Chains A and B, each alone.
Chain A
């Protein structure tokens, strides 16, 4: 029976605000990792997307992702164009909260996903091209994949488990980030594409805001203030903690020092991996997920360096690889329906989701990138890149020396 529950509604509205805070959190996380001449441009990518996708989500994003299926399980119809029919009454996806609350909660996911990609081609992309790319990507990549998994699409029909967006948010953005980094090429003068953080304190602040907001991201995805939300809250925290501890330990042994940046990145990797699993696995399983993802993502990051791919802020290694790892781990550890509960088929379904979403995201991103590049050069001229995007593109500087 559909009836609004004040407790559930309050929790989802609060969770929506928590997830909103993740995008500025991401801005600080990325902003600290770039060189000081590109801080503002990096912050601006996330801040601008917060405005941009907030509007496009209401206009057409929500209906493409969550509108009634058009028949093939690929995309939603236009019934909710401009949030038409999205009211204060419960909708088709949650019985105890207003449809508006659900739609806005999902909107925050749609906002942060394209913002994640921006870390891959940071420090060298044109702002104008970024704006057009983001509109197209959130419409042509995010909305369809969200529909496949959460909007009653074909992956939902197969029985894929994605509690809060391991495949929809992290895998899709991580794979797209790799494609974008490969297409735009390495930054000028960067031979070994390591990150050169100009302010690690900013990065740690950003990671803390992300961790905080992730409670809304995962526990809010229960769409109720109940035991599943509490489980997701606990698994989210413990997976992040274990991954941070593991990443620091690996870097300590590998590089000889317990890296502060490593603690921040490790926590984010843990949060990514537990995202699809949060409401389905036990806290003990979440510890294993956090441990495993830190090892896998650290290795992916090292591999990226070996191949000299300038995914500037390791978006693919953390979100792409971490998202895929989390999706598969969900198939293994999910209570009652996972591999360990005697259902190996769930891992196969999860793998189908990873391959399909990854492949589609890669091809569509490449298409969008090349299309935008035909009309607006995505890479800034070399003199602008040398001077820094803050001055060259935005006419502002982050730090005054007067």
Chain B
């Protein structure tokens, strides 16, 4: 059982290592930080 738990955690660890670094969501679709929005408005 302990080996199975260790292997399960190792699977997560590998997934974290291969996961993308940056958010894949289009940044433009998200709300802007206030200071950026204000700068754009100005």
| Interface status of A226 (Cβ within 8 A of chain B) | no
B37: CB under 8 A from chain A?
yes
Chain A nearest CB, measured from B10 CB (Å)? 10
Cross-chain contact B33 with A128 (CB below 8 angstroms): no
Contact with A along B8-42 (1 / 0, CB 8 A): 01000100110101111101001111111100000
Contact between B34 and A401, CB atoms less than 8 A apart: yes
Instruction: Judge whether B2 and A395 touch: CB under 8 Å.
Output: no
Q: For the complex, would chain A's binding face be called helix, strand, loop or mixed by DSSP majority?
A: helix
Residues of A39-96 at the interface with B, using a CB-CB cut-off of 8 Å, are 55-56, 58-60, 81-82, 84
Task: Indicate if A402 sits at the interface (CB-CB under 8 A).
Answer: yes
CB of A384 within 8 A of chain B? yes
Q: Which residue of B lies closest to A83 (CB)?
A: B2
Q: Count the B residues whose beta carbon is within 8 Å of the partner chain — how many?
A: 23
Contact status of A81 and B2, CB under 8 A, knowing A131-B16, A132-B16, A393-B23: yes
A395 x B23 contact (CB < 8 A): yes
Name the residue on B nearest A397 (C-beta): B31
Q: What band does the interface of chain A fall in when counting residues whose beta carbon is under 8 Å from B?
A: 20 to 34
Judge if A126 is at the interface, Cβ distance under 8 Å: yes
The answer for the CA separation of A112 and B13 in the assembled complex, in Å, is 20
Instruction: With A36-B33, A401-B31 as known contacts, state yes or no: A393 contacts B5, CB within 8 Å.
Output: no
- Whether the Cβ atoms of B5 and A391 lie closer than 8 Å is no
Cβ of B17 and Cβ of A387 under 8 Å apart? no
| Interfacial chain B residues near A400, Cβ < 8 Å | 31
With A56-B9, A126-B21, A128-B21 as known contacts, state yes or no: A395 contacts B30, CB within 8 Å: yes
Q: How far in angstroms is the closest Cβ of chain A from B38?
A: 10
Q: List 24 A-B contacts (CB under 8 A).
A: A37-B33, A37-B35, A58-B5, A59-B2, A60-B6, A81-B2, A82-B5, A128-B17, A132-B16, A376-B17, A376-B21, A384-B22, A387-B27, A390-B33, A391-B23, A391-B30, A392-B27, A393-B23, A395-B25, A399-B31, A399-B34, A401-B31, A401-B37, A402-B31
